[in-house]
Amino acid sequence: MAATKDPRPCSIADALALVGEKYSLLVLREVCLGNGRFDQLVRNIGAPRDILATRLRRLVDAGILTKRAYSERPQRFEYRPTQAGLELEPVLLTLMEWGNRHLRKDDRPMVVEHICGHELVPLVTCQACGDPVQHEDLTPHPQSPGWTVTGPTAA
């Protein structure tokens, strides 16, 4: 799914080029849960085995996962998130929160408990002021060319 042609220089597009393919984020979900073996991934994600193998290779190449043998003779492997992989977890959590809010009615299939003792409700905040991020409070500033807003509707 490489964003090879995205006319804009954009970290969102670049990130999606790595993890935006079908199943990639679900792989990350499983791996963050500690289910990093091939057959676990197949069962828990429901992806075709060959596609999964392709995704795993790409994620390893991208430095998001590592492949570790947990047994020689017989060789058995486990995929684990790297630091970069772990730092994608907030994306998963934010997505989960959105899904919980908009796609379900009260029945969350999975609850994550935070170390503070409460159920985790992920909230995206501004690091500087700590306030929750809201659309109206944001002003985009293009830094690179390629971001000139086209057409008369300039945001």
Mark residues 48-87: x for contact with a second copy by CB under 8 A, - for none. Answer: ---------------x--------------x-----x-xx
- 75's contact among a second copy, DNA, none, with CB below 5 to 8 A by partner kind, is DNA
End-to-end CA separation in angstroms for the chain:
28
Binding of a second copy at residue 149 (CB under 8 A)?
yes
Name the site residues for DNA (rule: CB under 7 A): 1, 5, 21-23, 37-40, 47-51, 53-54, 56, 67, 70, 73-78, 151
CA pair distance 21, 1, nearest whole angstrom? 6
DSSP 17: H
Q: How far apart are CA 144 and CA 90, in angstroms?
A: 26
Minimal distance in Å, beta carbon 148 to a second copy? Answer: 10
Query: Which residues on adjacent β-strands are paired with residue 81?
Result: 65
